[in-house]
Amino acid sequence: MNNLTRSLIERLRSVLEHIADHHAAPELLVAVIIMTGWAAAGFADFGFFAVIAAIVFGWLLHGVAAETGGFGWLWLSTGVLLLYIVFARSTVLAGTSPVWMAAAGATALAYNEAVRTNHWRRRRARTGVAAFTGSVAAVLAAGLLGMAGMAAAQFVADGAQSGRWWQPLAAATLFGLAVSLLVLPTLRSPESSRERWTPGTRLPAPPKPK
């Protein structure tokens, strides 16, 4: 075995150890399963190689998001997952009710939450189990509420038959208005600051009491 081979094997071993140490947490495994599942479902009709390419791309984005702990990458990987769900609408979710689409949306939310909670571990925080279980419960509740909401919307839409589209339009407008009412005071509040303290940043020592 020459030096090049030996160094390559060493490098590979260290990469595998790193993956085992940092990417084998339960929440990340759940996130990987979600990403893989939707990549496979989204590209099922495009052939074997497309499925493999979609899975590898999803894994790459997921790996970067988990490794860097950056919210930008987390947004991107969640966005790609949503894209896979949109693609899957034409395959596994074709012709299903909006309730199933809401369930699919809930998995995207779960994926985002799983990677976010993993950031706590990455920064070597002492993490309580309640924080993880609370996250799971919150995502489940959001998913169930979303599904229930869509079931209700489906019922209303079926009942109306004529499709009174001013209703969702009005709902969207009201929702936008409500959010603006919440966001604007927050942004204008004296407590709000653009300078968000990033965890881990060292602050200058406070002045000593005289």
Partner 1 sequence: MTRHLTHRFWLCFLIGWGGLSVAVLTRNLDMAAVGAPFLAALTLSLIDGWWPVVTPVSVAVSSSRVVEGDEVDFTFTFQAAQRAVADIEVQLPGTFEATTTTRMVDVVTDTAELKIRARAVRWGASGPEWIVIITRDRLAVSERIMRCPVEMSVRVHPPAEFLSTLIPLYRERPVTGEHRSRAKGTGSEFAEVRPYRYGDSIRMIHPQLTARRGTPMVIERHPDRSSTMVLLVDSAQDLGVGLETTLRWTVTAAMALGARHLQAQDRLGLLDVGHTLRWVPARLGRRHLHTVVDALLATEVTVRQPQSEQGNAPLELPANLPPSATIITISPLLSESTLSLLVALRSRGHEIIVIKPTVPDPADDVSPLARRIFDVGNRLNEQWLRHRGAMIIPWSPNESLQHILSRVIPKLARGRVGT
Interface positions, 72-91, toward partner 1 (CB under 8 A): 74-75, 78, 82, 85-86, 89
Considering beta carbons, is residue 12 or 160 the nearer one to partner 1?
A: 160
Residue from 130, 159, 162, 188 that binds partner 1 (CB under 8 A)?
Answer: 130
Whole-angstrom Cα distance, residue 9 to residue 104? Answer: 40
143 contributes a contact to partner 1 by CB under 8 A: yes
Please, are residues 105 and 146 in contact by the beta-carbon 8 Å criterion? yes
66 contributes a contact to partner 1 by CB under 8 A: no
Considering beta carbons, is residue 47 or 128 the nearer one to partner 1?
A: 128
Residue from 11, 175, 177, 181 that binds partner 1 (CB under 8 A)?
Answer: 175
105 contributes a contact to partner 1 by CB under 8 A: yes
Nearest to 73 by CA among 129, 20, 111: 111
Closest CB 192 distance from partner 1, rounded Å: 6
Residues 6+ apart with CB under 8 A from 58: 35, 36, 38, 39, 77, 80, 81, 84
Considering beta carbons, is residue 54 or 107 the nearer one to partner 1?
A: 107
Residue from 1, 4, 20, 205 that binds partner 1 (CB under 8 A)?
Answer: 205
Structure tokens, 37: 């599942």
CA 56 to chain centre: 17
Residue from 57, 69, 91, 116 that binds partner 1 (CB under 8 A)?
Answer: 116
Give the dihedral of Cα atoms 68, 62, 106, 87; nearest 10 deg.
Answer: 140
125 contributes a contact to partner 1 by CB under 8 A: yes
Structure tokens, 197: 């303290």
Question: Which residues between 179 and 198 bind partner 1 (CB under 8 A)?
Answer: 179, 182-183, 186-187, 189, 191-193, 195-197
Residue from 32, 41, 66, 104 that binds partner 1 (CB under 8 A)?
Answer: 104
**Number of residues this chain uses to bind partner 1 (CB under 8 A):** 73
Considering beta carbons, is residue 47 or 163 the nearer one to partner 1?
A: 163
Q: Cα angle at 61 between 55 and 62, to 5 degrees?
A: 85
150 contributes a contact to partner 1 by CB under 8 A: yes
How far from 49 is each of 54, 63, 80, 100, CA to CA, in Å? 8, 21, 18, 27
CB-hemisphere CA count at 13 Å for 108? 22
Considering beta carbons, is residue 23 or 122 the nearer one to partner 1?
A: 122
